[in-house]
Structure 1
C-alpha cells in the first residue's frame, strides 16, 4: 500500500535527499513536541526527553516517568541508578497557598517606619495635650479659681492616682451605690481616704457645691470627719478625707467580739457625741447643712473611740430634688429614711433627727432594723416604739449587768429616740434639744462647744494599721 510505497521510495533516495528529508521531519516533529530535544543523524534524527520524563510509546510525546530516573527517551538500564532513585515526595502534589503580598510591602521600608513612628508620636502628643486641656476645663468649671483664692487645699488628679496606686482594688475600702472609697498615702506619709463618686450619678451633682464645700473645709468639729481637700480636675470632683482607723458603729454594734461598747457609759458617750456633731451642722452653718444619710455605717470611731460623722460630703454635693434616687436604691437604707420625706420629697434638718432616732434604737437594742424570729420578719423600730409606750423595754433591750441607775438612763434615752421617730417632722425635737438631753443623761460625756482640734499627722502606729488593712474588703475596720 501507501506505506510500503513510501518505504521503497525512501530506500532508493540518495543520501543527500534522505538527509534533507530528515531535517524537514526533524523540524516538524520538534514543532509537535516542544519538550523533546531533537538532533540530526546521518539520514535521520533523534529526539530525547528531558530528565524525569520518557517518550510515549503511542504518541511519541514526552510524559512523566513514574518508574525511575529517565533520560535519553528510554528507561535507564543501569542497575546502580536504582540505588540512588529518589523516594516519591509526599508533598509533591500538595498546593501551599501563600498570601499575595505586593513586592513593595515585603521589605521593611525605613521611610515608612519613620513616618509610622512620627505619626504615633504626634498622636500620643495630641492625646496628652487633650487630657491636660480637659483637666483645665474641669478645674475652671468646678470653681477651681475660687477655691485657690480661698486657700482651699487642692489635689491634682495625678497626685490622687499615685496615692491610691491608680485606684487599685487592693486600696478600695468601701463601695456603695453612689461612690467608691480608696485609702491612700499623700505627702509626708499622711494617710487619707479618697472618695470617688460614680459616673452614673454625675447628672445629679449640684452646680453650686463650691460654697458648701468651702464651709466644710473652713470649719471643723471634733466629731466630724475632716475634709482635707478636693480634686477639681475630674468631671466629678474627688473628695479627700482624713483617715479614721477603728471602723463603723454598725460593725461594733453587730459584732459580739467588739470591746468598744463594753459598758452602757460607752453607749451614752457615743450617742451624745454624734448628737453634738449633727447639732453643729444644723445650727452653725448658714444655711444649715442637712446630712441626709445618717446611719450607723456613717458613724466612724477613731483611735480613741471618739465619734466621727462621715459621708456628709455626698449630702452637700447631691441635689435635694434627686435625693430619692440615692436613698431608695438599697433596702438596707430604707429603715433610716424619714417617712415624711418619702411623701413630700423634701429633706430638712428634721429628716436627720429621724435618722438619728433610728441609730439610737440600733445602739440600745443592738439589733438590725429588720430581724427574723420564728420565721416571721419583725420591724425593730415598730417593736421598739410599742415596747416604750407599753413599758415593756425588757422585751427588746438586754438589761443584763445594768445597775438601777443605768436602767433609768436607758429608759430616758429610749424616750428621746421615740420622740425623734415621730411620723411628723414638726413634732420631732431639734437636734440641739436632743444633744442637750443626752448630755444631761450622761454629764461625763458632755462635749465642749469650742472646737480645739488641730490638724495632726498620722503616727507610725496608725499608718501601719491602715497599710495592713488596705487589702481588706469593705467589711474591714478601715472604712
Structure 2
C-alpha cells in the first residue's frame, strides 16, 4: 500500500505540474499576442478572438465543419453566441515561419480593402503562434463549384453570368485604382470567387496579394506563392503586375462563357487544342458558336455575350502592355449589363433564382461605380 506521504507527494507534484503548464500556456499566449501585433491591433476596429473561443465555436476544428483546404491550411465553419456563423482560416503547422508571414501579410492587405464584393474580415486570434483569421461566412460556395461541379440554376441565366463577371471586374478595378497604394490580388481564379446568399460576388484569398507603387510596378514571382491563372509573361520575366490580374480575369471570363475547365481540350482536325487557345481563335475567326452554348439565348443576349468574349480575348493578350486596364474592362462590362438589363427580350429566359436577383436589375453594380469615387485609401472593416 502507498503511504499517505507518498500520495500527498504525488498529488502535490501533479498540482505543481498543472500550475506550471497553465502558467507556461498563459505566458506563451501573451508572448504570441504581443509578437503578432496585438498591442496595436486591440486599438483598431478588429475583434480579437481567444484561442478557446474559436476552438469551441468550431467544435475543436471538427472535420464536419471543414469548408475547404489549401496549401496554407484549412477553413472551418464556426458558430458563436447569437448563432453568428463565420469562417476560421487555420494554418498548417508546416513551414511555420513562412505561413506566419503569409497570414500577417494577408491581414495587412485585407484591412486596406473596404468593398462590398470582398469577403470581410471579422476578427483575428493572436494567441497562437500563427494568427487565425476570422472571415464572414459565405453560404453559396465558389464560382468554380457552380460552373464545374453543380447543376447550378443561377448560371442558367446569361444575365447572372455577366453580372458576376462585372462584380469581379469592379473589385479588381477598385484594388488597382481606388486603394493607395494599389494592390495586385495575385491569385484571381474561380475557386477564390465566392457567392453569398444573394449570389453576389465575394472575392477572397488575399494571401498572395501585394501593394505596388509607381516606383515598384511589378513584383518578383518568388514573392507570390499563389498558383493563380498566371499570365504568360511570368515564364520569361518572373514578374507579376496589375496586368497579371487582368489576364487571370480573362481566364475566369472564359470559364463563365464556356463552362469548361482550364484543363479541357477541344479536338479539331485530329489535334487537341487547349480551351483557352481554342476560345481565342474561335472569337477571332468568328466561329464563336462552336465553343459557346447559346441555348435559349435571344439575339440581343447573343450580341452582348460576343462583346464580353471580345473583352476576354483582349484580357488574354500575350503582352501585358496591350491588355486593357481593369478600369476599362469594368466600365465596358457595366455598360453591357445595363443595356442587357434594360432589355425585356430575355425576360422569359430567367429561372426562379434569376428572377429574385433581377428584381432590381443592376443597381448594386452601378452603386459600386459611384462608391469607388467616394472611397478613401483605407476603410473600416465593418
Structure-1-length-normalised TM-score? 0.66
Contact 2:186/2:224 (8 A) holds in 1: no
Instruction: Determine whether 1:430 maps to 2:345.
Output: no
Please name the residue that 1:402 is paired with: 297
- CA drift at 1:211: 8.2
Contact 1:180/1:195 (8 A) holds in 2: yes
Inter-partner Cα distance in structure 2 for 1:324 and 1:214: 15
Map of 1:214-229 to 2, 5 A cutoff? Answer: 216-217=110-111, 219-229=113-123
- CA drift at 1:277: 1.2
- CA drift at 1:194: 0.3
Of the three residues 357, 360, 364, the one matched with 2:257 is 364
Contact 2:49/2:125 (8 A) holds in 1: yes
Please name the residue that 1:133 is paired with: 27
Inter-partner Cα distance in structure 2 for 1:109 and 1:376: 86
- CA drift at 1:236: 1.4
Inter-partner Cα distance in structure 1 for 2:105 and 2:276: 37
Q: Secondary structure at the match of 2:90?
A: strand
String of CA shifts for 1:115-161, please: whole Å, max 9, x gaps.
Answer: 12211221222112111111111111111111112232111111111
Structure 2's unaligned 5+ residue stretches are: 212-218, 342-361, 375-379
Say which structure, 1 or 2, has more relative contact order (CA 8 Å, 6+ apart).
2
Instruction: Determine whether 1:265 maps to 2:159.
Output: yes
Inter-partner Cα distance in structure 2 for 1:307 and 1:420: 20
**Alignment coverage as a number of residue pairs:** 342
Q: Which has the larger radius of gyration?
A: 1
Map of 1:296-307 to 2, 5 A cutoff? Answer: 296-307=190-201
- CA drift at 1:448: 1.1
Map of 1:28-67 to 2, 5 A cutoff? Answer: none
Please name the residue that 1:448 is paired with: 367
String of CA shifts for 1:234-274, please: whole Å, max 9, x gaps.
Answer: 12111111011111111111246211012211111111111
Please name the residue that 2:126 is paired with: 232
Contact 1:178/1:326 (8 A) holds in 2: no
String of CA shifts for 1:394-451, please: whole Å, max 9, x gaps.
Answer: 1111112211111111111111111111122222111111111101111143331328
Contact 2:104/2:131 (8 A) holds in 1: no
Structure-2-length-normalised TM-score? 0.82
Of the three residues 166, 185, 195, the one matched with 2:79 is 185
Map of 1:5-154 to 2, 5 A cutoff? Answer: 107-154=1-48
Contact 2:175/2:184 (8 A) holds in 1: yes
Q: Let me know the Cα RMSD of the aligned residues.
A: 2.8
Go from structure 1 to structure 2 and tell me whether the alpha carbon gap of 1:116 and 1:377 turns closer, same or farther (over 3 Å shift).
Answer: farther
Contact 1:223/1:277 (8 A) holds in 2: yes
Please name the residue that 2:246 is paired with: 353
